[in-house]
Amino acid sequence: MARAKPSKRKTAVARAGRRKPVGRGPGRDAAKRRAAARTGPPPGGEAAAASAAPREPAPRRLPPVVGMVASAGGLEAFRKFFQAMPPDNGLAFVLIPHLDPRRESLMAPLLAKYAAMPVVEAKEGVRVEPNRVYVIQKEELQSLNEELSTVNNQLQDKVEELESTNNDLANLLASTEIATLFLGTDSTIKRFTPAATRLFKLIATDVGRPLGDITVRFDDPALRSDIDAVLADLAPREKEVRSDDGRWYVRRITPYRTMDDRIEGVVVAFGDVSPLKQAEDGLRHIANDLEQRVAQRTAELEAEIGERRQAEETLRAERNFVSAVLGTAAALVIVLDREGRVVRFNKACEELSGYAPEELQGKTIWDALLVPEEADGVKRVFGELQKGAFPNRHENHWRHKDGSRRLIAWSNTCLLDARGQVEYAIGTGIDVTERRRAEGEARQRQLELAHLHRVHTAGELAAVLAHELNQPLAAIASYSDASLKQLQRGELPQDRLAQNLEHISAQAQRAGRVIRELRTFLAKDESTKAAMDLNAVVRRAAELVAIEARARGVQISLKLTDDLPAVTAADIQVEHTLVNLVRNGIEAIRDGGATAGTVTIETHAAGDGMATVTVRDSGPGLSPELVEKVFEPFYTTKRNGLGMGLRISRSVVESHGGRIWAEASTAGGIFHFTLPLAA
């Protein structure tokens, strides 16, 4: 038998175009029913499915169809077959005769004579019933061949399209790093991606096996129950799971939907979130660390705030204390800023100047309080302070609000800021107006009493007595006169009077000792000698001549060796010697025409068991011819000198076992004397 080729006649093609679409026959309906059977009823059972959509009439069930093809010679075979076939067999037979299209087919009427079942010509619109024989005529056969040819071409295109799509899907699944399983409704494996082998022990032949038979490489007890839940309610499920190698995945289960919205299983996908998990752990660690640091810093700040509050309370208490002290202190305290403006002004300053602090606030001190002729000098001192030359001392006058003047002796220092720059200058002063007045009167009195030392006597004894007694008598007279004048003015306190009387008594006793020791000395007898502190004697001698030195503009400088051993000597005689040498230096500076100068007293231990005292002045010095001549009796370079001072000093030093000498120098007078160290 040969298959008839499809005709290309126009009428056949037109009829084929009027046919129903391909796949709309009983086979298509059967496929739908089989898919519905696999999918199962929707959630809630058959009743839920019935209530979910409008009720439709049940589709008519088709009987089994038997197709048979034969040529003209097959008629006899058909006759025998249908004669033997019972009429109620429940089958529908379709006969396709393979005849020449130019001949008319008589198969249907011929078979009708012999078959026990009705024979019907198959035409468009004829229903297929059981227990019948349908014969397809040549026109229908030609149309069917044409439709089959068209369907074959369309199916070939679809096959190629599906093959391309399948290739794309296979490559996509192979290239993705997401582990994915495609499961049927019975949890059998339909497909999986290569990445899934990292979480499941899968091989290619595992397709079709139940998921429960596959070994997993992660911990997920809820996997099976979540799959069942997704199939039941079609809602996706997500969960984080951890693999055996420590990596983290987000397991997501979603329904598997077809293009016509049928559920044929689930899709299980595993997204690797290990980097995200590590980042979360890192962020969690950072957050915990940050919280700890914040808590620690908060505690530190609270402690610092507490300490700061306590410091503020302490500072406030100290400020109040300082204010109270400054308010009651007799000394003047003033604080200036970098520009010399008044910042702080204590009670003593207020009383001495006559100005209230608010009157001077923000004003410069040289504009408000200084006398004009001293302003430049004070500015120079202030400039030295700003350059870091502190502490320093100076004296200047303040102008009282009533126009009077007061002399202030200042001791100055500075406060520095964080950069080490001067921020404030602090001056502490005392009113020395009355003291300087008393010193001036005492100095004048001392100058007058100095004439007694220039009384000429006819013998060495008278000259020596006049010289040695001049100093204590001058001191007694000075203290007496100063005390008397202050008593007359009513300005001398009782304690100051007692102090002056003690000085007068001490000087009187000193004069008595001079007379006694000088008498012994002139009689070639030993004076009273004992171990004494040479540095202490030097300091007392410097104090005795300090008033005269200041009056002449001369500064007395002491360079004494610490821990100097004691010497054996009569301290009053050594003091007289030092006073004589220092006064000679002061007068030499004055006679040299200088308005200021320095006398320096030095002590040190010599290597021969002696202590050496050196007196230097900044006067004109001595020529080589005078270094011995100045020790001769009655020799003097002073206009009104007795010429006995250095002679007596040599006698005193030599009587103690030492020696005295002068150095020739044009840079000032230099005198040395030695005394034996105490045993």
Q: At what angle do helices 645-655 and 494-522 cross, to 10 degrees?
A: 70
- Model pLDDT, residue 625: 83
Kindly state whether residues 336 and 449 are assigned to the same domain. no
* Rounded distance between C-alpha atoms, residue 232 and residue 275, angstroms: 33
Of residues 123 and 194, more confidence is placed in: 194
Q: What pLDDT score was predicted for residue 141?
A: 66
Read off the DSSP letter of residue 382.
Answer: H
Same domain? For 355 and 415 the reply is yes
Other beta carbons within 10 Å of 284: 10
8 A C-beta contact, residue 44 and residue 77: no
Domain with 371 in it: what CATH number? 3.30.450.20
User: pTM for the whole thing?
Assistant: 0.31
Tell me the pLDDT tens digit for each residue of 582-597: 988 888 888 888 888 9
Separation between Cα atoms, residue 416 and residue 428, nearest integer Å:
17
Whether residue 599 is found in the same domain as residue 610: yes
User: How many Å apart are CA 30 and CA 40, to the nearest integer?
Assistant: 15
pLDDT in tens, 295-347: 998 998 989 898 888 888 888 887 777 667 666 677 888 888 888 888 888 88
Average the pLDDT over 645-655 and give the result.
82
Is residue 19 situated within a structural domain? yes
Residue matched to tokens 């001595």: 622
How many Å apart are CA 541 and CA 575, to the nearest integer?
A: 6
What b-and-e string marks burial along 544-572, b requiring 16 or more CB atoms within 10 Å of the CB? bbebbbebbebebeeeeeeebebbbbbbb
The answer to which of 150-164, 367-381, 488-502 has the lowest mean pLDDT is 488-502
**Which of 123, 156, 189 marks a domain boundary?**
156
pLDDT digits (tens, 9 = 90+) for 227-283: 999 999 999 999 999 999 989 999 999 999 988 889 999 999 998 888 888 888 888
Beta strands (DSSP E) in 36-169 are: 65-71, 92-98, 119-122, 132-136
Final residue in a domain of this structure, among 501, 525, 549: 525
Mean residue pLDDT across the chain: 78
Task: Please report, as a single letter, which amino acid is at residue 114.
Answer: Y
Angle between helices 460-489 and 571-591 (to 10 degrees): 80
Other beta carbons less than 10 A from residue 103's beta carbon:
9
3-class SS at 332?
Answer: strand
Q: Which of 373, 386, 434 is nearest to 409 (CA)?
A: 434
In our burial notation (b when 16+ CB lie closer than 10 A, e otherwise), range 10-33 reads eebbebbeeeeeeeeeeeeeeeee
The reported pLDDT for the residue numbered 556 is 92
Q: Round to whole Å and give the CA distance between 36 and 33.
A: 5
Q: Are residues 447 and 494 in the same domain?
A: yes
Contact at 8 Å (CB) between 547 and 556? no
Angle at 507 between CA 506 and CA 508, to 5 degrees: 90
Determine what percent of the chain is predicted with pLDDT higher than 90: 20
Q: Which of 474, 500, 525 is the last residue of a domain?
A: 525
- What's the pLDDT band for 10 if we cut at 50, 70, 90? very low
Render pLDDT for 188-216 as a digit per residue (tens, 0 to 9). Answer: 999 898 889 989 999 989 999 999 999 99
Domain, as residue range, for 188: 176-272
Please check whether residue 298 lies inside any domain of the structure.
no
Per-residue pLDDT band for 442 (boundaries 50, 70, 90) equals: low
- Out of 107-111, 233-237, 446-450, 506-510, pick the least confident: 446-450
Q: Are residues 420 and 437 in the same domain?
A: no
Q: CA–CA separation, 590 vs 639, rounded Å? A: 12
Phi, psi of 127 (to 5 degrees): -80, 140
Same-domain pairing of 195 and 218: yes
Domain assignment of residue 321, yes or no? no
CATH number of the domain where residue 676 is located: 3.30.565.10
Same domain, 349 and 416: yes
- Provide the β-strand partners of residue 660: 673
Residue 218 CA to residue 245 CA, distance in Å, equals 8
* pLDDT above 60 for 22: no
Residue 675's pLDDT is what? 94
- pLDDT of 456 strictly over 60: no
Residue 449: per-residue pLDDT: 38
For residue 513, what are the contacts with CB-CB under 8 A and spacing of at least 6?
A: 572
Question: Which range scores top for mean pLDDT: 21-35, 456-470, 506-520, 593-607?
Answer: 593-607
Report the pLDDT value the prediction gives residue 58, as an integer from 0 to 100.
52
Length of the chain: 679
Residue 25 lies in a domain: yes
Res 461 pLDDT > 50:
no
User: Has residue 288 been placed in a domain?
Assistant: no
The number of helices, as runs of H, and strands, as runs of E, in the chain is: 20, 22
Is a pLDDT exceeding 70 seen at residue 384? Answer: yes
Same domain for 627 and 545, yes or no, is: yes
Given this model, what pLDDT does residue 444 score? 57
Query: What pLDDT, on the 0 to 100 scale, is given for residue 360?
Result: 82
Answer yes or no: do 369 and 453 share one domain: no
On whether the CB atoms of residues 225 and 205 are closer than 8 A, the answer is: no
What pLDDT shows up at residue 102?
A: 66
Work out the pLDDT band at 474, boundaries 50, 70, 90.
confident
Do 483 and 542 share a domain, yes or no?
A: no
Determine which of 164-168, 551-555, 601-605 has the lowest per-residue pLDDT on average. Answer: 164-168
CATH number of the domain encompassing residue 445: 1.10.287
Q: Are residues 520 and 533 in the same domain?
A: no
Would residue 295 count as lying in a domain? Answer: no
Q: Which residue has the higher pLDDT, 176 or 405?
A: 405
Laid out side by side, the sheet with 597-605 consists of 554-559, 597-605, 610-617, 670-676, 660-663
pLDDT of residue 14: 34
Domain annotation covers residue 326: no
* Between 12 and 264, residue with greater pLDDT: 264
Of 474, 464, 546, 529, nearest in space to 503 by CA: 474
User: For position 16, what pLDDT does the model report?
Assistant: 34
* Tokens at 634, concatenated: 């009655």
pLDDT at 69: 81
Question: Are 593 and 658 contained in the same domain?
Answer: yes
**3-class secondary structure per residue, 496-532:** HHHHHHHHHHHHHHHHHHHHHHHHHHHCCCCCCCEEE
The CA angle 41-42-46, to the nearest 5 degrees, is 55
% of the chain residues with pLDDT over 70: 79
CA pair distance 297, 43, nearest whole angstrom: 59
Question: Looking at the 3D structure of the chain, how many domains does it have?
Answer: 5
